[in-house]
Amino acid sequence: MKTIFVTGGAGFIGSALIRLLMAETDWHVVNIDKLTYAGNLESLTSVMDNPRYQFSRTDICDRVALDTLFDHYQPAGVIHLAAESHVDRSIHGPGDFIATNISGTYTLLEAVRGYWSSLEHAAKSTFRFHHVSTDEVYGSLGNTGFFTETTPYQPNSPYSASKAASDHLVRAWHHTYGLPVVTTNCSNNYGPCQFPEKLIPLMILNALSEKPLPIYGKGDNVRDWLYVDDHARALRLVFERGLPGETYNIGGHNEMTNLQVVDTLCTLLDELKPRHDGRSYREQKISVADRPGHDKRYAIDAGKIERELDWKPLETFESGIRKTVLWYLDNQSWVANVQSGEYRDWVVKHYGKP
Ligand code: NAD
Ligand code: DAU
């Protein structure tokens, strides 16, 4: 039974990954998370009492705390998801993105290198540092083509630039120090427990609260949507079987314009939770100013991970989006605590600081 570290495990994708690892492996998992506004331990209530799960409220920029954790737990690997992840926030205030995504990844890499160097030969060769990144590092596509693992980096937002920088650091730590790293670059995720600043949960919750559904620009930007559990399965596969130094793109072959996504959500809500006045949620759509530097289209060629690791998404967009809407309808207490900010009060109560 091995122990691994997951950074950012209280976030949207990290919590899905930890739920999957608890259900499908016998590993011990230590969740290392600072609990920013995006970290929510309520997303992990199903695993909280599992003796194989531990939580440490730690900032990945804190080298001393990281060294203590490595020394104490002696992990067999790290899956690194901790990041500032929202593009709009990065436009309004890039500082936290530089601190966590770049300096934090650097600090973590140095802590990992120190620990890894001290391991004996067998443990050293099986150790993995898995860096979880995004398709946004490749920039924006025109109407055709796909991002592959060899597409040149062309990040356009402070968020994607900070993720690109972290990818380069991880690559360099492999090339220069021989650290056994794997990197994954994934497309847009959706599913349960996503913070309602991102398109899909924002639209579901605004619709139900009778608020406007704000569509940036013409709504014709295209994203390639993947159900979060499919991403979590891919992460486990790459962590276990990916080759050191390699990069794997992960995507759903599921391109849609933002308008198509919002219309799909409205149709589902019209069926599952009709408005009191019998009208369609589509009437709540409004056009708002475009996001500055808004990338036009993302689309992933996931051929490498499909061929080499036999991964394929299990959910279609139709099945995954229905599950997602039902989850938000059925989990009123998670939603209410996020909307009221009560999950932050819990953090203050337990840790004494916000
Ligand atoms: P999220 O914002 O939901 O969660 C991020 C988590 O990281 C939170 O729990 C937060 O508390 C934690 N965190 C932030 N700063 C930290 C720090 N300094 N120290 C420790 N913990 C810290 O993000 P997400 O959507 O789950 O994304 C997870 C990772 O996957 C990110 O690296 C992101 O770039 C990448 N990614 C996300 C998507 C997507 O569609 N959401 C797609 C591809 C890749
Ligand atoms: O591609 C992977 C990336 O996907 C991840 O790396 C990021 O962490 C994740 O946030 C996501 O980035 P996007 O910017 O694509 O996601 P977001 O949900 O913020 O927006 C999706 C699209 O919807 C985008 O074209 C902007 C648009 N949008 C978004 C919001 C929040 C709207 O039209 N209205 C909105 O209110």
Closest ligand 1 atom, residue 99 Cα: 18
Burial class (CB in 10 A: 0-12, 13-18, 19+), 114: middle
- Report d(CA 276, CA 280) in Å as an integer: 10
Give me the sign of the Cα torsion angle 270, 272, 275, 277: positive
Per-residue confidence (pLDDT) for residue 151, from 0 to 100: 98
Amino acid at 197: E
Per-residue confidence (pLDDT) for residue 117, from 0 to 100: 98
- Report d(CA 294, CA 181) in Å as an integer: 31
Q: Note the pLDDT tens digit of each residue in 213-258.
A: 999 999 999 999 999 999 999 999 999 999 999 999 999 899 999 9
Q: What is the total residue count of the chain?
A: 354
Per-residue confidence (pLDDT) for residue 343, from 0 to 100: 84
Q: Note the pLDDT tens digit of each residue in 39-73.
A: 999 999 999 999 999 999 999 999 999 999 999 99
Mean of the pLDDT values across residues 304-322?
98
Backbone angles phi, psi at 109, to 5 degrees: -60, -40
Alpha-carbon distances, residue 313 vs 252, 321, 353 (angstroms)? 6, 14, 40
Binding site membership of 223 for ligand 2 (Cβ less than 6 Å): yes
Under the banding of pLDDT at 50, 70 and 90, the label for residue 345 is: confident
Per-residue confidence (pLDDT) for residue 201, from 0 to 100: 97
Mean of the pLDDT values across residues 325-330?
98
Mean of the pLDDT values across residues 255-277?
98
For residue 347, pLDDT beyond 90: no
Per-residue confidence (pLDDT) for residue 335, from 0 to 100: 94
Binding site membership of 221 for ligand 2 (Cβ less than 6 Å): yes
Binding site membership of 166 for ligand 1 (Cβ less than 6 Å): no
Nearest CA to ligand 2 atom 10: 86
Per-residue confidence (pLDDT) for residue 341, from 0 to 100: 86
Per-residue confidence (pLDDT) for residue 252, from 0 to 100: 87
Task: Please give the residue that has the higher pLDDT: either 105 or 353.
Answer: 105
- Report d(CA 14, CA 260) in Å as an integer: 27
Spacing, Cα 184 to ligand 2 middle (Å)? 19
Q: Note the pLDDT tens digit of each residue in 115-148.
A: 999 999 999 999 999 999 999 999 999 999 999 9
Nearest CA to ligand 2 atom 29: 199
- What the block records as the tokens of 251 is 């995507």
Q: Which residues are catalytic?
A: 135-136, 159
Spacing, Cα 174 to ligand 2 middle (Å)? 31
Q: Note the pLDDT tens digit of each residue in 94-105.
A: 999 999 999 999
**16 in Cβ contact with 41 (< 8 Å):** no
Spacing, Cα 84 to ligand 1 middle (Å)? 6
Q: Which residues sit opposite 257 in a β-bridge?
A: 222
Rg of the Cα atoms in the chain: 20
**81 in Cβ contact with 132 (< 8 Å):** yes
3-state secondary structure labels for all residues of the chain: CCEEEEECCCCHHHHHHHHHHHHHCCCEEEEEECCCCCCCHHHHCCCCCCCCEEEEECCCCCHHHHHHHHHHHCCCEEEECCCCCCHHHHHHCCHHHHHHHHHHHHHHHHHHHHHHHCCCHHHHHHCEEEEEEEHHHHCCCCCCCCECCCCCCCCCCHHHHHHHHHHHHHHHHHHHHCCCEEEEEECCEECCCCCCCCHHHHHHHHHHCCCCEEEECCCCCEEECEEHHHHHHHHHHHHHHCCCCCEEEECCCCEEEHHHHHHHHHHHHHHHCCCCCCCCHHHHEEEECCCCCCCCECCECCHHHHHHHCCCCCCCHHHHHHHHHHHHHHCHHHHHHHHHCHHHHHHHHHHCCC
Binding site membership of 136 for ligand 2 (Cβ less than 6 Å): yes
**239 in Cβ contact with 300 (< 8 Å):** no
- Report d(CA 287, CA 67) in Å as an integer: 49
* Beta pairing class for 255-257 and 222-224: antiparallel
Average pLDDT, the chain: 97
**136 in Cβ contact with 295 (< 8 Å):** yes
Residue-range domains of the chain with CATH: 3-346 (3.40.50.720)
Binding site membership of 186 for ligand 1 (Cβ less than 6 Å): yes
pTM for this prediction: 0.98
Nearest CA to ligand 1 atom 1: 11
Closest ligand 2 atom, residue 213 Cα: 36
Count CA atoms within 13 Å of residue 108 on its CB side. Answer: 31
Spacing, Cα 85 to ligand 2 middle (Å)? 10
Under the banding of pLDDT at 50, 70 and 90, the label for residue 159 is: very high
